[in-house]
Amino acid sequence: MDFVIVQPRQASLKVKGTSSSFPVHRIYCVGRNYAAHAIEMGHDPNREAPFFFQKNPDNLVEDGRFPYPPASNDVHHEIELIVALKDGGKDIPLGQALDRVYGYGVGLDMTRRDLQGKAKDAGRPWEIGKAFESSAPASALVPADEIGHPAQGAIWLDVNGERKQTGDLNQMIWKVPEMISYLSGLFVLQPGDLIFSGTPSGVGPVKRGDRLLGHIDGIGDLEVLVV
Ligand code: MN
Span 62-80, pLDDT tens digits: 999 999 999 999 999 999 9
User: How far away, in angstroms, is 91 Cα from ligand 1 center?
Assistant: 24
| pLDDT greater than 90 at residue 37 | no
Domain 12-226 is found in CATH 3.90.850.10: yes
Q: Is this model's pTM higher than 0.95 or not?
A: yes
User: How far away, in angstroms, is 132 Cα from ligand 1 center?
Assistant: 14
Q: What is the domain partition of the chain in residue ranges?
A: 12-226
pLDDT number for residue 196: 98
User: How far away, in angstroms, is 181 Cα from ligand 1 center?
Assistant: 19
Burial code (b: 16+ CB inside 10 Å, e: under 16) for 140-173 equals bbbbbeeeeebeeeebbbbbeeeebbebbbebbb
User: How far away, in angstroms, is 126 Cα from ligand 1 center?
Assistant: 12
The 10s digit of each residue's pLDDT in 48-59 is: 888 999 999 999
DSSP state at residue 103: E
- Can you tell me the mean pLDDT for 189-210? 98
pLDDT number for residue 45: 77
